[in-house]
A and B are shown apart, each in its own frame.
Chain A
Amino acid sequence: MKKAYDCVRAARAKDRPTGLDFIGGVFSDFLELHGDRRFADDPSVAGGIAMLGDTPFTVIATERGKNTRERIRRNFGAPHPEGYRKALRLLKQAEKFHRPAVLFVDTSGAFCGIGAEERGQGQAIAENLMELSALRTPILSILIGEGGSGGALALAVADEVWMLENAVYSVISPEGCAGILWRDAKRAPEAAENLKLTAADVHALGVAERVFPEQDGNWAGVWEALAMAVRQWYDKASALSPEELIEARYQRLRAMGTPPASAGAETGCAQNEERAETE
């Protein structure tokens, strides 16, 4: 079986397609729109309008950049508060004009910088979580690489969350977790197993609705499959009234980690007993 940390490595691989590749691969005629209208334009979040068939979508993606210069310019895909505020501005625009929204998420997390903190990184994420939970238009988030904690979640409060086979989604980076648990970031692979961060695990825990195979790196094929799935998802979602939509979105979140915990809880306890015996 594939190790969790193999997925982490694959998700972080330098040659993996980035957010803008996914927008280009799944949609057509992408028109990028810039700025949060408050302070700046954050290049680590790209957003705008793109077409799928003859339906316009609001599309947003975190973007890591392809080469060193681009990566630096895009801050390696780690958004500042302005990135989240730009995303929210575009999503509010989607709501106003009844456009569905698709977000591609691939970030190690919200940027941990002095300016980011001073300009309210926490507040920016908090506002997105609150507003997205009740946005009156269909939202779909697709985790295409790293789903790093609150910085990823701020773009992933949606009607459905999908993941690619090697994408990961975690409350903390495996390195950070290993550092806290064992004061040793080198034990990240072990921490990755414990965090249950792979697409398969996240799906089993009910946090992601679908997982898409990566077809051994045939990305054109992956994008084709995603385009078809997005179309089918939108057909279903657009049949709901905004009230039904946000009620379902609320209930989706409401069910997460509601005691008594799911079947996963039972296996969790059993595993724990095994662990106790082997120690």
Chain B
Amino acid sequence: MPLGLRFRKPKNELEQGGRPPARPAERASEMTRKCPDCGKEIPLGVLWEGGDTCPCGHCFPMRVRRRVAFLTDPDSFTELFGALESRDFLGFPGYAKKLRNLRESTGEREAVLCGEARIEGHACALFVMDPYFLMGSMGTVVGEKIARLFEYAAQKRLPVVGCAVSGGARMQEGILSLMQMAKTSAAVKRHGDGGNFYLALLTDPTMGGVTASFAMQGDIILAEPGATVGFAGARVVEQTVRKKPPADFQKAEVLLAHGFADAIVPRAGQRRVVASLLAIHERRRPDEKGL
């Protein structure tokens, strides 16, 4: 995004209304979308075919239902815990309005979609976080839904596939948002102690309290190319150490080099890779007792 455009974006609207970025069709042209990496105008048809990926490899953010459709077998997804939605229980400035606007603009009730699905025939519990809903931030309901999903999966002895994207813990719900990091971690631990498989797929950006909890707790951690994954954001780091972080700071490729991800998987190969990992971890030991 050019610097000028970034400054002209009405910050107040973002602060008060929390509207998601304009839809692609409303930008330069009805039929194309500009890639922030290579700068080319990409026809929407090409993007759609490639799973919202530019031919140059740039991964555009994906709406939750779109990612579910992209990753799972047709009509195999059943949503779970979909009725839960956040409330402004602290009376935090602007939060109630922001939630109302987001529910309207995204059609989703919360920043994570949970359910049960099949991926190339393999059953799994699935959660997909929503980059358009308060930047996928984790408040009490996101934490609750994810904890419930791991408990549900532990009980049914299902693997969990989780697609993370998040700005971190949701400040508008205060300390209880922070506690969701511990709550989800405890649920992941129990699911794992039961011998169940958890595959985390980290997408751009995965930050803060989500990185510092369930995103980094996968038995296997995959990342999308170019995804930024970290705890503190680059700007905060720069302000703290008064030194500009390298250009590839916190990029998936660096994460891989430092040993914090198992593999980088472009969208085109994700279904196949996830399905084969689910197949490998399908439970077959006869002495298995589960929980």
Contacts and interface: CB of A to CB of B under 8 A. Distances in A.
Interface string B247-290: 00110001000111000000000000000000000000000000
14 contacts: A112-B236, A112-B240, A117-B231, A117-B237, A122-B229, A126-B214, A126-B215, A150-B181, A150-B208, A153-B182, A154-B212, A181-B93, A194-B93, A249-B186
Complex A-B, nearest 5 residue pairs according to Cβ-Cβ distance, in ascending order:
A257-B140, A122-B211, A112-B232, A271-B91, A129-B185
A120 B260 contact: yes
Contacts of A265: 87, 89
B237 A126 contact: no
Interface string B191-222: 00100000000000000110111111100000
Contacts of A238: none
Interface in B151-199: 169-171, 173-183, 185-190, 193
Interface stretch (A88-96, A167-175, A211-219): A167-175
B231 A122 contact: yes
Nearest to B208: A150
Contacts of A254: 147, 183, 186-187
A220 interface: no
B169 A114 contact: no
A125 interface: yes
Given A112-B236, A112-B237, A195-B174, A207 B179 contact: yes
A230 interface: no
Question: Contact size class for B?
Answer: 35 or more
Contacts of A253: 179, 182-183, 186
B84 interface: yes
Interface string A128-157: 011101100000000000000110011001
Interface string B88-118: 1111111010000000000000000000000
B232 A153 contact: no
A258 B215 contact: no
A259 B140 contact: yes
Contact of A118 (B181, B214, B254): B254
Nearest to A182: B15
Contacts of B171: 171-172, 177, 180, 195
Contacts of B180: 256-257
Contact of B212 (A121, A195, A261, A269): A121
B241 interface: yes
A113 B237 CA distance: 5
Interface in A208-267: 249-250, 253-254, 256-259, 261, 264-265
A85 to B, nearest CB: 13
B212 A150 contact: yes
Contacts of B87: 259, 261, 265, 268-269
Contacts of A271: 91
Pick the most buried of B89, B240, B259: most chain A CB atoms within 10 A of its CB.
B89
Contacts of A195: 90, 171, 174-175
A197 interface: yes
B143 interface: yes
Is chain B's interface secondary structure helix, strand, loop, or mixed overall?
helix
A116 B232 CA distance: 9
A171 B243 CA distance: 25
A60 to B, nearest CB: 17
Contact of B232 (A117, A133, A197, A259): A117
A114 B181 CA distance: 23
A127 B175 contact: no
B226 interface: no
Contacts of A37: none
A178 to B, nearest CB: 11
B62 interface: no
A272 B96 contact: yes
B163 to A, nearest CB: 17
Contacts of A3: none
A119 interface: yes
A69 interface: no
Given A269-B89, A272-B88, A257 B143 contact: yes
B178 A153 contact: yes
B182 A269 contact: no
A72 to B, nearest CB: 13
A201 B92 CA distance: 14
B11 interface: yes
Contacts of B175: 169-171, 195-197, 201-202, 205, 207
A271 B170 CA distance: 20
Given A122-B216, A207-B176, A129 B91 contact: no
A157 B212 CA distance: 13
Nearest to B88: A272
Given A114-B237, A180-B171, A181-B15, A129 B190 contact: no
A123 interface: yes
B215 A122 contact: yes
Contacts of B120: none
Contacts of A249: 186
A114 B243 contact: yes
B124 interface: no
Nearest to A274: B91
A18 to B, nearest CB: 21
